[in-house]
Structure 1
């Protein structure tokens, strides 16, 4: 009987941990979404053009394990002119394989007037991918933990 009580206590802590982990990830996702919304609200817009694709392997060289997808990712290099007439160039933070953009492709660039070097492509991956990943993982963990907690409560 005492072993069962200990086991139930452990299960409750695991469920609580899953819900707490999920809530933390949802909060991080909401914060990242807020950062994107704030960036959008204060951003200047300019036409840009993909001038190059920078291929990079992002894994560390100290890792000796062969990963499933060990191929390099293409990061678009964008050229645009800010409102002050200065030509600018930046590498987008989101790299993909296969490439999301082609050299010569026209894109819309978002940048802050006070900090034009902090520019982003006005696209899904640049603005919403991280908030959705964190929010989705958080929703999954807290949802599973909540369902398990409700089932455990019904059975007791």
Structure 2
């Protein structure tokens, strides 16, 4: 295999993977935007910090009262060590009144973490692949 063939394959694979990750990041971004456009806002309380599996990553468990007056409990989507929240802390909650279990804490990590990670990784892969592919158009 020649160097030229290697860089075509390498660039194609990296640009392809990057494109997929960028598309996923954009999908997460659009999902969050549409959620925010229809979400109701209320205040909730962190009632527990759940440790998943045997890791030291803590996820906040929040309780709030929905627009129908019913209490709702949900677990945050992003965990951290040390915990980002403390038990008893009041937090702003965003939720769909028709599906209050889909609630999220209003924070950058809870809302935009997925989109940021996928778009960032996708951008790096796409850039590496793109540079590799574009370099093949240089005159030898």
Please state which band the TM-score falls in when normalised by the shorter chain: over 0.9
User: CA–CA distance in 1 between the matches of 2:84 and 2:73?
Assistant: 18
Unpaired runs of at least 5, structure 1: 59-70
Q: Pairwise CA RMSD of aligned residues?
A: 1.5
3-state SS in 2 of match to 1:49: strand
User: CA–CA distance in 1 between the matches of 2:73 and 2:42?
Assistant: 12
Question: Is residue 2:78 matched to residue 1:94?
Answer: yes
3-state SS in 2 of match to 1:153: coil
Question: Is residue 2:61 matched to residue 1:77?
Answer: yes
User: CA–CA distance in 2 between the matches of 1:57 and 1:155?
Assistant: 55
Question: Is residue 2:132 matched to residue 1:148?
Answer: yes
- In structure 2, the partner of 1:43 is 39
Question: Is residue 2:132 matched to residue 1:136?
Answer: no
Q: Deviations over 1:27-55 (max 9, x none)?
A: 11000100000111111111011111112
3-state SS in 1 of match to 2:137: helix
- In structure 2, the partner of 1:121 is 105
Aligned-pair distance for 1:82?
0.8
3-state SS in 1 of match to 2:138: helix
Q: Count residues in correspondence.
A: 140
Aligned-pair distance for 1:143?
0.6
Q: Deviations over 1:28-85 (max 9, x none)?
A: 1000100000111111111011111112236xxxxxxxxxxxx421111101111111
Q: TM-score, normalised by structure 2?
A: 0.92
3-state SS in 2 of match to 1:98: coil
User: CA–CA distance in 1 between the matches of 2:43 and 2:20?
Assistant: 37
Larger radius of gyration: 1
Aligned-pair distance for 1:155?
4.7
